[in-house]
Amino acid sequence: MLKWNDVLRYAREGNPAPDRKVTKTDAEWRAQLSPAEYQVTRQAATERAFSSAMCSAFEPGIYSCRCCDSLLFDSTEKFESHTGWPSFTQPIAPNAIAYHADDSYGMVRVETVCNTCDAHLGHVFSDGPAPSGLRYCMNAVALKKAAKAEPA
């Protein structure tokens, strides 16, 4: 189980190696994604709070990256954070997410990206529920329910 100190260490010292890497040109990403998906995942935008039904959906399943289909989160780790974005306590695997220090907008945060394709997902905070204390605050537009509920 990842804890806040693990996240900070990855953000400072480097992330675990992904199982695979997906690289595409900007034109390929634009052709694949809707304008909103592109803005969030490729330009690190943030969707409007409470703009997605995914916030209040708690059906069993696995969430994958909108861009590359890498498995990111299991619905058993999803919780109601009342923040307006889907929130999880743990990624599906320690190397599913990469972490980067983010000091934009006068705040100190940790950005989360897909470790496979570098898609911006959201941020992780240390104010989540026990036992991990983590809150992965994700942009719903960056995620999709995986076709199969099986890890790769």
Domain ranges of the chain: 4-145
Q: Phi and psi at residue 135, in whole multiples of 5°?
A: -130, 100
Give the tokens for residue 41.
């995942």
Distance CA 5, CA 116 (A): 22
Question: Are 36 and 47 spatial neighbours (Cβ–Cβ below 8 Å)?
Answer: yes
pLDDT of 105 reads 72
The beta-strand segments (E) located in the chain are 62-65, 71-74, 78-79, 87-88, 97-102, 109-114, 120-125, 135-138, 143-145
68 is catalytic: no
Instruction: Match 């329910």 to its residue by tokens.
Output: 145
Q: How far is CA 121 from CA 22, 75, 99, 141, in A?
A: 16, 16, 10, 9
pLDDT of 27 reads 98
pLDDT of 150 reads 47
Q: Which of 65, 67, 117, 137 is catalytic?
A: 137
**Cα dihedral 116, 122, 123, 128 sign:** negative
pLDDT of 55 reads 86
Q: Which CATH architecture has domain 4-145?
A: Beta Complex (2.170)
pLDDT of 149 reads 47
For the chain, residues with pLDDT lower than 50 are 149-152
Distance CA 125, CA 3 (A): 10
